Amino acid sequence: MLTPKYIDNNDALNELCISYANAPFLAIDTEFVRERTYYAALGLIQVYDGKTLALIDPLVIDDLSPFWQLMVAPHIVKVLHAGSEDFEVFKHYGDVIPSPLFDSQVAASLVGLGASLGYAKLVEEFCEISLDKGESRTNWLARPLSDSQLIYAANDVYYLHQLYPVLKQRLIDADKVEICQQECQRLANKSNAKNALDKYLDISNAWQLEGQQLAILKALAAWRQYEAIKRNLAQGFVIKDGELFLIAKFMPTSNNALRTIEALHPMLIKRHGKKILSLVEQTIATKTMPEKLTRLVDYAAYKKTFKAIKSIVEEIATNVDIPKEMIASKKLIHEVLSFYWKGQHERSNVCPVLMSGWRGELLGDKIKTLLNV
């Protein structure tokens, strides 16, 4: 493997990006740390065009705009592997959604190599190389980076560059290029930032609450989301789901009432007690209550309908030679059922994933017939 070029200043980055400007495709990866923070802490960016393999240090470069411009250059295909977390990094730090895209994990799944195939397995399959993953849990924010860390990081784009033309040809042979392009862009465009006022829907036991309890949970979950973003702290380190649920359930209006909830840590009450009580009191006073939540499993037709959709997915998967796991997860089936059974189709023009794009073409009519919509 060629020696990577370490980019640690603005001028070097600018020169690098000029040299990449005419590349037909770039292999790209990022290294980051995400333990307690809301946003991933970006530690390194790796890029390879087949000539220059660069390791870009975002900790010392104060202007990454030349790189972000490459990410949206329409004539350069951005090649990543399992890029969902990379897309979050690009959105947060560069406010960009890369396009056009090629995700080698998506491509591998479409050409019959297995759903969610790891990068090391893919490299072993095509390049007959066993990668050393010993640095996978390294601290990418520490400096200086060791030689083994730099080699590990470089490998992530060196072989990825070799995989792209092979996988692309397989997609062409299988007539699945368009499906791959759609799926890669969908994953990049997918927003993980749910409206703060809807965050209470993510709390598993929310369906057990009613009236003011649910209104309190909604207010508390929205506050936690704002607090997590403001402090760049993972939501569970602000306050845990279970603690939110108990506060909403018991609706405390005093410090003493808060302290009677045994599961609440004293430090939580000391740090956020005043704000929590304020939100509880304000919510009770407004008397605005969300509709009670209904679980899909409580619908009489749930088991039968879920099984029927799974059967449709399995039949289609066999016919088009695409893994059923890629076509429809349990979450995507639930999304369709919620959309029609809970009246979301009357309030929203955003179609469920299973009813749009290439999935909609394969499944849409069959699912609509099944659901009688």
CA angle 235, 194, 236 (to 5 degrees): 10
Q: Which residues pair with 19 in a beta bridge?
A: none
Distance CA 24, CA 26 (A): 7
Distance CA 363, CA 316 (A): 8
Instruction: Tokens for 209, please give them.
Output: 């609450």
Instruction: Tokens for 79, please give them.
Output: 């090649």
- The secondary structure of residue 372, as a DSSP letter, is T
Residue 228's Cβ-count burial label (10 Å; 0-12, 13-18, 19+) is: buried
For the annotated catalytic residues, the residue numbers are 29, 31, 86, 152, 156
Please report, for residues 80, 102, 136, 187, 292, the alpha-carbon distance to residue 156 in angstroms, rounded to integers and kept in the order given.
9, 15, 11, 20, 48
The residues near 299 (Cβ < 8 Å, ≥ 6 apart) are 305, 337, 341
Continuous H helices in the chain: 10-20, 65-71, 84-94, 104-110, 119-127, 147-174, 177-189, 211-231, 235-238, 241-250, 255-259, 266-286, 302-320, 324-327, 330-341, 344-347, 357-371
The answer to whether the Cα torsion of 63, 68, 70, 74 is positive or negative is negative
Contact indicator for 236, 245 with CB cutoff of 8 Å: no
- The b/e string for 347-365 (b: 16+ C-beta within 10 A; e otherwise) is eeeebbbbbebbbbebbbe
Q: If we measure between CA atoms, which residue out of 58, 65, 10 comes closest to residue 31?
A: 58
Distance CA 111, CA 167 (A): 8
Residue owning tokens 């033309």: 165
